[in-house]
Amino acid sequence: MDPHGAHPSSKPLLETLTARLRNMAHRLTTPRRDILDALRRGAHPMSHRQIHSALRGSCDLATVYRSVHLLESAGLVQRFDLGDGVRRYELLGEDGHGHHHHLVCRRCDRVVELLECFAPELEQRVASQSGYSGVTHRLEFFGTCPACQSA
């Protein structure tokens, strides 16, 4: 595994993403297309602020918040919570394909993308034992990266 590696999976075409958005009966606006494109280029989860800077001010920060909300409810992006109070987002494949987790350095915030998801069978067990339905999970790892260990 490459410690700095980004998503190895082929990135979806921007055209594919905008099509998905329109299929959900939403308008395709310039900010939304640009946000999707920024996320497509990003190797790791991006905060609203990071997305906004990647857009170089082409739209307002409030619009980034509103658009990301929409993309999330449309199932195009997934939210990640890496422990600081900041929400981060990544593109999500159709039907939830592309679900995965991260390993974050406590010192320098370096992120490793973890390709496998371990927990689906756990979801099953948790669901059947509790009676809850539609069980999902959120899992992130934390540690000290090689660089920060020697420093």
Residues found near a copy of itself in the complex (CB under 8 A): 1, 3, 81, 83, 85, 103, 105-106, 112, 114, 118-119, 122-123, 126-127, 129-146, 149
Q: Which among 141, 142, 124 has a CA at the least distance from the CA of 133? A: 124
Work out whether 108 is an interface residue with Zn ion (CB under 5 A): yes
Q: In angstroms, give the least distance from the CB of 129 to a copy of itself.
A: 5
Q: Which does 113 bind (CB under 5 to 8 A by kind): Mn ion, a copy of itself, DNA, none?
A: Mn ion
Buried b (16+ CB within 10 A) or exposed e, 10-42: eebeeeebbebbeeeebeeeebbbbbbebbeeb
Q: In angstroms, give the least distance from the CB of 116 to a copy of itself.
A: 9
- One-letter amino acid at 60 equals D
Work out whether 148 is an interface residue with Zn ion (CB under 5 A): yes
Contact 86, 68 (CB under 8 A): no
* Segment holding 124, helix H or strand E: helix 120-130
Q: Which of 36, 105, 111, 112 binds Zn ion (CB under 5 A)?
A: 105
Binding site for DNA (CB under 7 A): 22, 26-32, 47-49, 58-63, 65-67, 69-70, 85-87
